[in-house]
Structure 1
């Protein structure tokens, strides 16, 4: 059985930057969130010790939002993943994301800053494209 959960509060890291584009100051906010995927492996048989384990994988996704409006907001997929397993079956009430991702908060924050720096050139290119379309 496979269950997909989104742990919004688990990786609630944000990073804001200011960009100057043709003499105008623009702000962009990057927010990291984790998409959790869980899977129960093993068997649970009567009269024997429970051999089930909950394997989880969290993929970090970064959302970009510009401060002046919803234009050019987008999701930046990254390859940053964390994984682990715990004894027992995966159930919705276990809240694996919040508990397990808090120990990786510093790594998630550093990754968020790196993604924001790497997105600077694509963001400027998108702003130039929008400006060129608006001037035609």
Structure 2
């Protein structure tokens, strides 16, 4: 059995930056979310100890939104992953990955800041592109 869940960490990480573009101040908000995948491995046989384990993997994805509207909103996929396992089968109400992901909150926040800094050049290029199209 395999479960795929999209979950937010207990305290969703957000980071706001201010960008100056041709004399205007623009705000961009970056929000990290975790795409959770869980899979039950092992066997459950009668008259024996339960050998099942719930393996979970959380991939961190960052969403960018500009304060001035939905233009240039973007999802930034990253390769940051966290994983773990617990005894027993994966069930929808268990939320073992989200519960264990909370202990990595500081790493997620640091990764979010790094992604926002790396995205700055791309955001400015997109703003220039939109401005050039609008001036034609």
- Is TM > 0.5 for Structure 1 vs Structure 2? yes
After TM superposition, give the deviation of residue 11 of structure 1 in Å. Answer: 5.8
Q: Could you tell me which residue of structure 2 aligns to residue 75 of structure 1? A: 75
1:12-58 Cα shifts (integer Å, max 9, x gaps): 10000000000000000000000000000000011110000000000
Normalising by structure 2, report the TM-score: 0.97
Bigger Cα displacement from structure 2, 2-11 vs 74-83: 2-11
Count of paired positions: 136
Q: In the aligned structure 2, how far is the partner of 1:134 from the partner of 1:123? A: 17
Structure 1: unaligned runs, 5 residues or longer: none
Q: Could you tell me which residue of structure 1 aligns to residue 16 of structure 2? A: 16
Classify the secondary structure of the residue corresponding to 2:36: strand
Bigger Cα displacement from structure 2, 109-118 vs 11-20: 11-20
After TM superposition, give the deviation of residue 97 of structure 1 in Å. Answer: 3.0
Q: CA RMSD in A?
A: 0.9
Q: Superposed, which structure 2 residues align to 1:93-132 within 5 Å?
A: 93-132=93-132
Classify the secondary structure of the residue corresponding to 1:64: strand
Classify the secondary structure of the residue corresponding to 1:91: coil
1:104-136 Cα shifts (integer Å, max 9, x gaps): 000000000000000000000000000000011
After TM superposition, give the deviation of residue 9 of structure 1 in Å. Answer: 3.6
Normalising by structure 1, report the TM-score: 0.97
Classify the secondary structure of the residue corresponding to 1:49: coil
